[in-house]
Amino acid sequence: MKIRPFDKKIYLSSPTMHGEELEYVTEAYRTNWMSTVGENVNEVERIAAERADMKYAVALSCCTAALHLCVKLAGEKLYGRPRVACGALQGKHVFCSDMTFSATLNPVVYEGGIPVFIDTEAESWNMDPIALEKAFELYPDVQLVVCAELYGFPGRIDLIKKICEEHGALLIEDAAEAMGARLNGKQCGSFGDYSAISYNGNKIITGSAGGCLLTNNIDDANKARKWSTQARENAPWYQHEEIGYNYRMSNVVAGVVRGQYPHLEEHIAQKKAVYERYKEGLKNLPIRMNPITHGTEPNYWLSAFVIDKDAMCKQVRDDTKAFYISESGKTCPTEILETLAKYNVEGRPIWKPMHMQPLYRMHEFITRQGSGRAKTNAYIPVVEDVGADIFERGCCLPSDNKMTPEQQDIIIDIIRSCFD
């Protein structure tokens, strides 16, 4: 192929600044609100809540911190305040998304909980409601579910919520990737009893870092805000009754976030155009783009696809390396990602499912068929493991909203060449 590598790297998803960000940051500097207090933080909380159709937002240093405080709020609501140095979920099982970033559920473990992973449905690439029902049959005592939306393409979070309600369980929604996406007209981030959004540098809008906890309960919002600022009691000195954290968002970071919010819809439109160009440009290849579930309006954060089973060349992955055997007419994610990298283009494998991670390999994993684990410590593949299959055959495509149509056409040619 006579394509030359790009001079400037094409990223998976990089920050896109507009100018207003700098004005709010400068304002913070000029007025000397260079701390975790100030107008930008207040405004981010107001705007974030409004955009997500939730009553309250708490601005924090990152989405992982937001998820941690979600887990603490849920844990205390369900099981009461723990003794000092004891997690709020000590020894409790929690149903968690399986094919997601580890930050979705690591906070469950920070609080002593035990994640039980729920398989993914092929139709949406998100948590499978049928597997979740199965999980409640097997573990009727579970009272908490943590569910993430994948790549900004919501699955059946409405059904997940309904199942939680039927079983008296609380729902934490990790909408880190799905800000601005909707299901039946309802904003992602508004389904959970507690939800979290992210302003990490590669998300749909960014503060360089940052996140918000979202809730409709004012007492919970106030509690999270107090915990995030070292849990000081109302007293003339530093008085403490509970464990605190240094999780508050900086007013400088908040300035960037505040300047980004007016551009959320614009970023979504650009990401949608990227997705649609891939769909068109790759249309007669043996692949399937990430699915758009009926009734959803994705934010199209990352475009991705799975390669049809019979178009996969042989690919083997161990814990740290991948190998494949090139074959005419066939390819695999490893070959595609290596080829893209050769041209200075960044792709990414699908999130490796949590039940396949060394960290969580011994945890229960539940599919539509039931328990995916024999009662041993080994990982024994189950009959149908949807997450493992999407991981094996899928990859995320460069989805930067600053990529031009001309650049994307070249990337499409590079991908097509892998199938030759």
By the criterion CB under 6 A, which residues form the site for ligand PLP?
62-64, 100-101, 103-104, 148, 174, 176-177, 198, 200, 211
Q: How far apart are CA 401 and CA 266, in angstroms?
A: 10
Strand, coil or helix: 372: coil
Using the minimum distance from each CB to ligand PLP, give the nearer residue, 103 or 332. Answer: 103
Using the minimum distance from each CB to ligand PLP, give the nearer residue, 190 or 315. Answer: 190
Give min distance, CB of 200 to ligand PLP, in A. 4
Residue 357's nearest CA partner among 317, 395, 302, 309 is 317
Using the minimum distance from each CB to ligand PLP, give the nearer residue, 75 or 152. Answer: 152
Torsion sign over Cα 57, 227, 196, 368:
negative
Give min distance, CB of 97 to ligand PLP, in A. 8
**DSSP letter for each residue of 175-201:** -TT-TT-EETTEETTSSSSEEEEE-BT
Give min distance, CB of 114 to ligand PLP, in A. 19
Using the minimum distance from each CB to ligand PLP, give the nearer residue, 105 or 116. Answer: 105
Using the minimum distance from each CB to ligand PLP, give the nearer residue, 103 or 224. Answer: 103
Give min distance, CB of 240 to ligand PLP, in A. 26
Cβ burial of 120 (10 Å; 0-12, 13-18, 19+) is: buried
Using the minimum distance from each CB to ligand PLP, give the nearer residue, 24 or 101. Answer: 101
Give min distance, CB of 317 to ligand PLP, in A. 21
Using the minimum distance from each CB to ligand PLP, give the nearer residue, 33 or 101. Answer: 101
Joined together, the tokens standing for residue 293 give: 């579930």
In contact, 161 and 183? CB cutoff 8 Å: no
Query: Hey, which bits of 350-418 come out as E strands?
Result: 365-367, 370-371, 394-396
Q: How far apart are CA 173 and CA 60, in angstroms?
A: 16
Give min distance, CB of 262 to ligand PLP, in A. 21
Give min distance, CB of 91 to ligand PLP, in A. 24
Which residue has tokens 């990089």?
14
Residue 118: strand pairing partners: 97, 366
Give min distance, CB of 65 to ligand PLP, in A. 7
N- to C-terminal Cα separation, the chain: 11
In contact, 132 and 90? CB cutoff 8 Å: no
Give min distance, CB of 122 to ligand PLP, in A. 19
Using the minimum distance from each CB to ligand PLP, give the nearer residue, 176 or 221. Answer: 176
Using the minimum distance from each CB to ligand PLP, give the nearer residue, 100 or 228. Answer: 100
Residue 334's nearest CA partner among 391, 285, 292, 252 is 391
DSSP β-ladder status, 370-371 and 365-367? antiparallel
Strand, coil or helix: 111: coil
